[in-house]
Amino acid sequence: MILNGAKISKGVVIGAGALVNKDCQTDSLYVGVPAKKVNKLHELDI
């Protein structure tokens, strides 16, 4: 769920069931309630 006023930048991945209440930085992974940045996507081995 993305709350009103939160901005999602380019390349952001949001995990299932996450609650986004703040702006999300570019190329990052966000999960949890409230959503928190877990890692930059270029740092993951996927």
Number of structural domains the chain divides into: 1
19 is in which domain, residue-wise? Answer: 1-46
Mean pLDDT of the chain: 90
Q: What percent of the chain has pLDDT over 70?
A: 91
Distance of CA 12 to the CA centre of its chain: 6
Rounded Cα distance, 24 and 41, in Å: 13
Query: Which phi and psi (to 5°) does residue 24 adopt?
Result: -110, 135
What's the whole-model pTM score? 0.82
The full 3-state SS of 18-44, as one line of letters, equals: CCECCCECCCEEEECCCCEEEEEHHHC
Kindly list the distances between the CA atom of residue 12 and the CA atoms of 22, 41, in Å, as whole numbers in the listed order.
Answer: 13, 8
8-26 per-position pLDDT tens digit: 999 899 999 999 999 999 9
